[in-house]
Structure 1
C-alpha cells in the first residue's frame, strides 16, 4: 500500500486474512538497497585506486631470431627435367642430402662427353700458347745475335773508314810533297832556260831539266789521282758503315715485329685458354647441379613440384624446408602512436594460440597461461599493413616457452608499461591519450630542470 491519499483505508483491512500483505509490510527492502548501493560505490571507489599496469596490445606470430633458421624454399639453379625423387614430404634431411635428380634440357649441354672434349680443346690451346712462347724466345735469341753481329760489323766498318781517312791524309801529304817538288822543278827549269838563253848552259842540260820537270809533273798528277782515289775509298767506307747500320736496323726491326706478332698471337691464345678454362669450370659446376641437395638440416614440409618428367625453369621453387634447429621469437605489430613508448629489452607478455590461458590485461601477475618475452629489435620503417614490427625473444628470467610451439603460430601480445591507478587509466582511455602521456611530459620537465640546475 502506498498510503498517498489523505484518507487511509488501512484500518478497515484485516491483515490476519492477508499473509502476503503482512510479509510485504514487514520487509525493509529500501534500506537494504541503499546500503548495497553505498557499499558498491565504496568498492568501486576503492577499486579506482587499485594499481593498473598499462600495456600496448598487438597481434603477432611466432618466427625465428636468425634469418637462416626460418622456413625456406629450395630452388633449381639451372633448368632441367625431373628424373628421380629421393625424399618425401615430412622426411628429415641433413645438409648435403640429395633431394632430387634432374637431367639437362638445353641442347648445347646434351653431349655426354662435353667435359672431356672441352678439356681437349683447352689442352690444344695451351700447347698453342706454349709454341708461341717458344717462338718468342727464339726471336729474342735472334735479336740478341743481330745486336752482337751488328756491333762487330759496325766496328769493322768504322776501322775501315778510319783506314781510308788515314790513307787520305797520307796521300794528301804525298800530293803536297810532289806539288812542292813540281814547283821546284818549274823554277829550276826557268833558271836553266835563262842560263841557256845567255849561252851559259847547253841545250842538253835544258832538255834534261825539262824532262825532270815533266816527270815531276807526272808524279804530281799521279799523287793527286791517288788522293782522289783515297777520298773515294773513305766515302765508300762511310757509305758501307751507314749501309750496315741500316741493314741491321731493318733486320732487328723485322725480328722485333715478328716477336710482337708472336706475342699478340700468344695473348690471343691465352685469352682463348682463359675462356675455355672458365667454360670448363662452368660445365663442371653445372654437371654438379643436376643433384639438388639440402642446404641445411631440416624437414621437407611441402613439395612444390612433383612427378617425373616435368621440366623446371632456372630459379623455380621445388620444395620448402624447415630447419630442424631454431631459436623462437615473436614478431608483433604496434600502432605508430605507440612506437615512441617502446624500447629495447622491454618486457612483453605473450599468449600463444592453442595454449589455454586466463588473461587480466591490467594485472599480468595474476594472469595464467602467458609467457614472458623481451624486445630485441624494432623496425625503423613502417610495414605495408600500417604498423611497426617489433621482434620479441624469450625472457630468460621467465618460464621457458612451450617445446611444442611451431613457427607461424599466432600470438596475442601485451607490452607492459608503468603501473597507474585505474581511474587514471579510465580517464586516459576516455580522452584518447596514449599511455604515460603525462608521465612522459613530466619526465621531460624534470630533465629540463635538471639541465638548468647543471648550468
Structure 2
C-alpha cells in the first residue's frame, strides 16, 4: 500500500534531546578520544604520501650456482651384481675413490681371460695381415719382372723383324743379280749358237754355254726360294710378337688377379684387426667399470642400493653424493604475471629459514636479517608448480651470505622495483594493476645508443 496519510510519517528527533548523548558530549575523556582519532586519521593520511618500494615476492630454496656442484647420483655404467661396499653414508670421498665393486652377470663377458684372449686374436690377425702385405709385395715384384721380360722379348722380336726385312732386301738384291746373270748367260748362249752355226765356234763351246745357262736358271729358283723363306721368317716374327704379347698379358693378368685377391684379403684382415682392437679396448674399459668410483670430492649422502648379491642394471643410481666445494645460490619461483618485470642483474633481497629476520617489504632498508642477491638466470619455461624459476647469486657488494647454509633449506626473496607513494601502491593493488617496471638509467642509455 501507498503511505498517503500523514499519520504514517516518522517523526525523527534530534540526538541532543537524549540524556545519554548529552552526557557523552559533556565528558572530557571523550573529547580527548575524538582528538586522538582525528590525529590518527591525519597521520594515516600523511603516511599515504610516504615512499614505498614496489616488489615481487617469491619462495624457493638454497641451491648451488653451477650444475656440477649440486647433489648428484652415482650410477653404474654396466649391469652387474653387488659384491662389496667400500663406503658408508656420511663418508667423505675424493675423486677416484672406490665406492662399490660389482661382478659380471652377462655370459658374453664371464671369461676371466677375455681380455688376454682377445689380445692374442689381435696379434694373430696382425701377423696374418703382415703375410698378406708380403704376398702383395711379392706379387708386385713378380708383375714387374713379367713386364720387364715382356719388354725384352718384344725388343728381341722387333730386332728379328728388322733382320727379316734386311734378309729380304739382301735376297731381293741377290735375285736381281741372278736375273742379270741369266740375261748375260742367255745372250752368250745365243751368240755361241749363232757362231757355231756360222762355223766360228765349236760345239763344245755351245754345250758349255748351255750348261752355264742352266746353272744360272737353277740359281734363280734357289734365290727365289731364299727370298720366299725370308718373307716367311718376317711373317713368323710378326706372329711371334703377337704370341709374346698374348702370353705375357696372360701371365701379368694372372699375377694381378692374385695381387688383387691378396689385397682384398689384406683389407678384410685390416677391418678384422680394427674390430678386434675395438673389442679389446671395450673389454679393457669394461674391466675397469667393475669398480664404481667417485667422480669428484664430496660426501656420500645416501646409499640407494643395499645388500650383497643384489643385481643392478646399467644406468641405475647407486648412491648420492654432495660435492664438498660449491658456490651457494637461491632458486626462487615467481608468478607468470611478474615474469616480464624480472631481468638478469636485478637486485634482490633474500632471507633464509631459521635465521632471525624482520622484513618490511616496502622499506627494504629498514628490514633486518635480509641479504643482498643478484639475478643471474631466468628460466623461460614454466615449472611444474605453475611458476617461473629464477636463480639468484650473492651480491658481492653487500654482506656475504651465512656459511652455515645447507643446500635445500628454504628461502624467500623480494625483487625490488620502482619507488612510489603508499597511496599509489594501495590504489594499484585495489585495481589489480601490475607494478611499475623499473629501468636502470645506464641500461636505458645503452639501449638508446
Matched, 1:238 2:238: yes
Q: Cα distance 1:340–1:213, how it changes in 2: closer, same or farther (>3 A)?
A: same
Write out per-residue CA displacement over residues 232-253 of structure 1, whole angstroms, 9 at most, x where no aligned residue. 1222222223322332232222
Q: Partner of 2:284 in structure 1?
A: 284
Residue number in structure 1 paired with 2:210: 210
- Work out which of the residue numbers 13, 17, 20 in structure 2 matches 1:4: 17
Render the CA deviation track for 1:205-241: whole Å, top value 9, x for unaligned. 4443333222211110000001111111222222223
CA pair 78-3 structure 1, distance change in 2 beyond 3 A: closer
What SS class does the counterpart of residue 401 from structure 1 fall into? coil
Q: By how many angstroms is 1:68 displaced? A: 0.7
Alignment of 1:296-307 (within 5 A): 296-307=296-307
Q: Distance in 2 between matches of 1:361 and 1:199?
A: 171
- Aligned-residue offset at 1:327: 0.3
The residue aligned with 2:226 is: 226
Aligned position for 2:335:
335
C-alpha distance in 2, partners of 1:23/1:235?
Answer: 163
Q: Tell me if 1:418 matches 2:418.
A: yes
CA–CA separation in structure 1 for the residues paired with 2:207 and 2:25: 207
The equivalent residue for 1:372 is 372
Deviation at 1:314, TM superposition (A): 1.0
Contact 2:25 2:31 in 1 (8 A): no
Give the 3 Å change call, closer, same or farther, for CA 209–21 of structure 1 in structure 2.
closer
Question: Greater CA deviation, 143-152 or 195-204?
Answer: 195-204
Equivalent residue for 2:357? 357
The answer to whether 1:93 aligns with 2:93 is yes
| 1-structure distance, mates of 2:341, 2:284 | 57
Offset of 1:194 from its aligned partner? 5.3
CA distance in 1, matches of 2:406, 2:279: 45
- TM-score, with length taken from structure 1: 0.87
Aligned to 1:17: none
Query: Offset of 1:394 from its aligned partner?
Result: 0.6
- Any stretches of 5+ residues in structure 1 without a counterpart? 11-19
SS of the equivalent of 1:391 reads strand
1:289 CA drift (Å):
0.2
- Distance, in Å, in 2 between the alignment partners of 1:306 and 1:186 is 132
Match of 1:132 in 2: 132
Aligned counterparts of 1:3 and 1:271: Cα–Cα separation in 2: 116
Aligned length, in residue pairs: 432
Contact 2:24 2:30 in 1 (8 A): no
The separation in 1 between residues aligned to 2:238 and 2:297, in whole angstroms, is 89
Rounded Cα–Cα distance in structure 2 between residues aligned with 1:183 and 1:292:
117
Aligned to 2:176: 176
Partner SS state of residue 17, structure 2 = coil
Alignment partner of 1:232: what SS?
A: helix
C-alpha offsets along residues 247-276 of structure 1, whole Å, 9 cap, x if unaligned? 223222222222222121111111111111
In the aligned structure 2, how far is the partner of 1:84 from the partner of 1:338? 52
Asked whether the 8 Å contact 2:16–2:22 carries over to 1, the reply is no
2: CA distance, partners of 1:195 / 1:339: 149
1:385-407 deviation per Cα after TM superposition (whole angstroms, max 9, x unaligned): 43322111011222221222111
| Gapped regions of structure 2 (runs ≥ 5) | 1-14
More moved, 335-344 vs 185-194: 185-194
Question: How is 1:79-118 mapped onto 2 (pairs within 5 angstroms)?
Answer: 79-118=79-118
Relative to 1, partners in 2 of residues 1:41 and 1:23: Cα closer, same or farther, differing over 3 Å? closer
Separation (CA, whole Å) in 1 of partners of 2:277 and 2:179: 85
Quote the offset at 1:321 in angstroms: 0.8
What is the distance in 2 between the residues matched to 1:186 and 1:3? 194
TM-score with structure 2 length normalisation?
0.89
Deviates more, 1:27-36 or 1:200-209: 200-209
CA–CA distance in 2 between the matches of 1:268 and 1:3? 121
Q: CA deviation at 1:384?
A: 4.0
Change (3 A) 1:25 1:207: closer
Corresponding residue of 1:395: 395
User: Per the alignment, in what secondary structure is the counterpart of residue 49 of structure 1?
Assistant: coil
Match of 2:160 in 1: 160
Residue in 1 that maps onto 2:266: 266
| Counterparts of 1:241 and 1:43, CA distance in 2 | 129
- Take 2:386 and 2:179, find their aligned partners in 1: how far apart are those partners? 123
SS at match of 1:392: strand
138-147 or 257-266, which deviates more: 138-147
Is 1:49 the equivalent of 2:49?
yes
User: What's the RMSD between the two structures over aligned residues?
Assistant: 2.8
Q: Deviations over 1:165-186 (max 9, x none)?
A: 2111101111121123223333
CA contact (8 A) 2:357 2:368 kept: yes
Structure 1 residues 198 and 25: alpha-carbon distance in aligned structure 2, compared to 1, 3 A threshold: closer
Distance 1:419 1:382 in 2: 29
Q: Provide the C-alpha distance between the structure 1 equivalents of 2:188 and 2:145, rounded to a whole number of angstroms.
A: 64
Aligned to 2:66: 66
